[in-house]
Amino acid sequence: MAPQALATRERILDEAERLFARGGVQGVTTRQITEAAEQRNASAVTYHFGSRQGLLLEILARRGAPVDDERGRRRAALPTPAPSRDLVACLVDPYTDLLLSRHGRSYLQIVAQLRGRFAAWRLESDASTTGHLAAILNELEQRPHGPVAVGRDRVLALIILLTGSTAERARRLDADEPVELDHRAYVENLIDMCTALIDT
């Protein structure tokens, strides 16, 4: 792809990410995105990404793939079976690192909007960007809680807590609102809370 076309794609991705985070995935139009990206061609999103959904998936993959790679590296360094807290840390640490950048915070706010589709996401997601996430969640789901449905509910609660908490912190940081815990204290507390959901 030509350098100019690559630059245009990145500009559209950046603006869509920013607008989706602040205006809502459902509330932002492709026209608003193309205007923010200073594209004269009204069909620029379709040309570069095929569809609005293709654009959203590209945004998720762009930030999500490096996070998933880091989760895989961390899991590979642990024994099998691994303590629940260590597995949870594999999920939480790379994800919360996104709080440290503006683009990362936008991504976190977008993911939180999509968490209601979590059950479908586990079937439809791109294995190349969520494979390690799915594997770690499966390990946590199989902890001895009793019925399989209990394990599934606990993992779902973990995802809701993780995505909701980080999105709210991202929003507060972007708005320059005060946060009580520094980054590391926040992450350790989030790991503790998520672990409690699995092991209680």
Q: Is the preceding peptide bond at 81 cis, omega within 30 degrees of 0?
A: yes
Ordered per-residue pLDDT tens for the chain, 200 residues: 667 767 889 999 999 999 999 999 889 999 999 999 888 887 889 989 998 889 998 998 999 999 999 999 999 999 999 999 999 999 999 999 999 999 999 999 999 988 666 554 454 455 667 889 999 999 999 888 778 889 989 998 999 999 999 999 999 999 999 999 999 999 999 999 999 999 98
Q: Does residue 142 share a domain with residue 161?
A: yes
d(CA 19, CA 113) in angstroms, rounded, equals 13
* 55 located within any domain: no
pLDDT of residue 91: 97
Instruction: Specify the amino acid at residue 195.
Output: T
Q: Does residue 67 share a domain with residue 137?
A: yes
d(CA 89, CA 82) in angstroms, rounded, equals 11
Q: Does residue 179 share a domain with residue 137?
A: yes
Residue with tokens 């708005």: 175
CATH of the domain at 192: 1.10.357.10
Residue range(s) defining the domain that contains residue 111: 61-199
* 124 located within any domain: yes
d(CA 17, CA 55) in angstroms, rounded, equals 9
Total-model pTM: 0.90
Domain total of the chain: 2
* 160 located within any domain: yes
- Residue 148, classified by CB atoms within 10 Å of its CB into exposed (0-12), middle (13-18) or buried (19+), is exposed
183: which residues sit within 8 A by CB, 6+ positions away? 96, 99, 100
Q: Does residue 116 share a domain with residue 27?
A: no
* 56 located within any domain: no
